[in-house]
Structure 1
């Protein structure tokens, strides 16, 4: 249990730091593209590059350019480390605990965004973050042994199909919503990461290791779809909205579904007599994340024109 908790906390730290670095890279890229588009517009409007969809959201080209900034690359490397640590935690802890602890990267994201993104958190946001922290303590106290994770192969196929439907449908919806789709993008990316967590938990061919069984398991491809799709939609969310609100929405999608599935189908449980504490902690964690999303959605994705962009210290 202790090793699992330490692993989940480390994964949370990597994800939280990575999110802020990705936000820095995404926003710097967006500013550079906006400046290039404005310059092109002074010569010939027909030659100006198109960096947004017809609904005002970031285009695939815009998102691709954000991905190659050094801040985004470093943030993605931290996400990869976080993924490996999170996968280990998902096999050592009940999903409702591992996913919730990992989702506490919301706190790290909020704190780092003050320094690196120049944001100011409002009092309700601080209160909501405190609620999330208290809820995590409740969950850690209430958590019992994790289930076996053994499920029929048909369940693995369903996980893959649902993952594809969620990521594909969510991507289309976010493109339709444009600049107002940050919260939805964050939520759907969280569902993708949640599918990743479930897939890691039920994946065959891991212990004992069997390459043939691993490659033939649909859960492996659900992990890839959920992880890559979640990363893309999280990038879109960071480009179009508040980093705290987008991350909070991600927390909800990443926590609720895997937690419920872990209890109902994978045998996860709380300590004897502490089910009530686990339920209260889970509800408070989700409610706190929703509150951060609500209070943070009014923040600007980009600073006002002419404002100086916060820089990362090189010291």
Structure 2
């Protein structure tokens, strides 16, 4: 559980740096997913720092996934938005409203319930078709990005965010299925394709359209699906008699995280004193054409 929470801290801090770098990168033309955007973002030191934090968080996530049920780790990762909100309030001087401080407390309460009620991770390997289904889902995330990038602004943000969440969810399940280094195992390729596609879609969503909507979609995509897979096929269980309380804790943690979804959005980089000005609660428009 300590590794899961530490992973959440890493991901929460990384999102602040990556969101600011994505907005500072030179905008591309058109409204779809911009493959070259990640390369332009890599020229920003903040994005590099965010990737380093993501790498550390991923290692901690792997340790957590090997010892805890997926639904616990997924809820902890969603709680990274609470970390982002707290960092934004201190570093970027973003003013949290009372409802948002309440949401931070709600997330902590949900995680506490999960910590008290969760059992050990399941030891099932799942059906034989599951790794191949994961690989198909990973490529489906890429396809979802192509289709979603052509949608109007509001549905585009939601679809790209959901796609990124599905990609991260594929990574969570793949980590549980991998058993040693075996490159004939489709789970390895599902992890690589799903993780890469998720980063691509999330980076595009951070620059284009409503980042608040995209962040909320990502939280839903990376928590609910993997949790179901863990319980149904991998044997994840709660402590005897505490199933209802674990469901309540999971729902509470995710609901609190969704309330904090606006903290996926950084201040505008070209505004004077942007780092010290409060973030606007309103939704941002699409990136300006060059």
1:177 aligned to 2:152?
yes
Distance 1:84 1:300 in 2: 25
Give runs of aligned pairs for residues 135-284 of structure 1, distance below 5 A: 135-178=110-153, 181-204=156-179, 206=180, 211=181, 214-240=182-208, 246-284=214-252
Distance 2:146 2:34 in 1: 12
1:308 aligned to 2:242?
no
Distance 1:264 1:300 in 2: 35
1:259-300 residue CA offsets vs partner (Å, 9 max, x unmatched):
11111111100001111100111122222233333xx39x97
TM-score (norm 1): 0.79
Return the structure number with greater helix share: 1
In the alignment, what sits opposite 2:96?
A: 121
CA RMSD of aligned residues (A): 2.5
Distance 2:209 2:275 in 1: 17
Distance 2:270 2:15 in 1: 24
Distance 1:102 1:64, change over 3 A: same
TM-score (norm 2): 0.85
1:58-92 residue CA offsets vs partner (Å, 9 max, x unmatched):
73334431232111011011111111111121111
In the alignment, what sits opposite 1:40?
A: none
Match of 1:52 among 10, 29, 32: 29
Larger deviation, residues 172-181 vs 96-105: 172-181
Using CA pairs under 8 Å that are at least 6 residues apart, name the structure with larger relative contact order, 1 or 2.
2
Distance 2:42 2:124 in 1: 34
**Any conservation in 2 of the 1:182–1:240 contact (CA below 8 Å)?**
yes
Q: What is the number of residues matched between the two proteins?
A: 276
Distance 1:69 1:239, change over 3 A: same
Structure showing greater Rg: 1
Give the unaligned 5+ runs of structure 1.
35-50
1:15-67 residue CA offsets vs partner (Å, 9 max, x unmatched):
111111111212222xxx36xxxxxxxxxxxxxxxx231x4x67333443123
Match of 1:19 among 9, 15, 22: 15
The 3-state SS of whatever aligns with 1:285 is helix
| Shift of residue 250, structure 1, vs aligned partner | 2.1
Distance 1:131 1:248, change over 3 A: farther
Distance 2:142 2:124 in 1: 24
Distance 1:124 1:182, change over 3 A: farther
Q: Runs (4+) of structure 1 moved beyond 6 Å?
A: none
Give the unaligned 5+ runs of structure 2.
277-290
Distance 2:74 2:89 in 1: 25
**Any conservation in 2 of the 1:174–1:185 contact (CA below 8 Å)?**
yes
Distance 1:192 1:277 in 2: 28
**Any conservation in 2 of the 1:24–1:116 contact (CA below 8 Å)?**
no
1:119-162 residue CA offsets vs partner (Å, 9 max, x unmatched):
33333333223222211111111101211141233211111112
